[in-house]
Structure 1
Amino acid sequence: MASEAAITIAKMLENLPEQFTEQVVEHVREYIADLKDERQWNSAFSQSQDQLIAAAKKVRKEIQEGKAAPLDIETL
């Protein structure tokens, strides 16, 4: 069953000339793809929190022990 939002969008598209309809559909496709990518990123990021915390603690310890050197961006 279609949601109210989907029905609203369909009604809005019915009133547009076909050339504009195609443009809107393409924009919606891109927007949905972006939303899916963002959801994947957020999921991956949330699952890696423990690893990121551990890495930050390790770096902090290395800095305190004098084992870390500043990053020279010019040499990259």
Structure 2
Amino acid sequence: MSSTAIATVAKMMESLPEPAQDQVVEHLREYLEDLQDELQWDALFKKTQPQLVAAARRAKQEIARGLAKPMDYDQL
């Protein structure tokens, strides 16, 4: 975020009463935590994407060769 955008947000917050400022800060903290979690998840998913594709291909090949067995959900 540019320093201009940060300054704009700060000015907007300064116009609010202090209790409202505290609420905005708490909402921003929660939002930023969620955003960081999402970015971390996306990075991990992207990192493992090739392995997931390879596993899906192997599963399709096993199904095509008749080597796959139906999943027994009671054993999970």
TM-score tier, shorter chain, comes to 0.7 to 0.9
Structure 1 residue runs of 4+, over 4 Å off? Answer: none
Question: Scaled by the length of structure 2, what TM-score is found?
Answer: 0.84
Map of 2:3 onto structure 1: 3
Mind listing any 5+ residue stretches in structure 2 that lack a counterpart?
Answer: none
Aligned residues: 74
Mind listing any 5+ residue stretches in structure 1 that lack a counterpart?
Answer: none
Map of 2:29 onto structure 1: 29
Asked which structure has the greater RCO (Cα within 8 Å, sep 6+), the reply is: 2
1:4-30 Cα shifts (integer Å, max 9, x gaps): 111011101101011111111011011
**Matched residue SS, 1:69:** coil
Question: Scaled by the length of structure 1, what TM-score is found?
Answer: 0.84
Map of 1:54 onto structure 2: 54
Give the fraction of aligned pairs with identical amino acids, expressed as a percent. Answer: 51
Say what the alpha-carbon RMSD is for the aligned residues. Answer: 1.5
1:12-57 Cα shifts (integer Å, max 9, x gaps): 1101011111111011011111111111111111111110111001
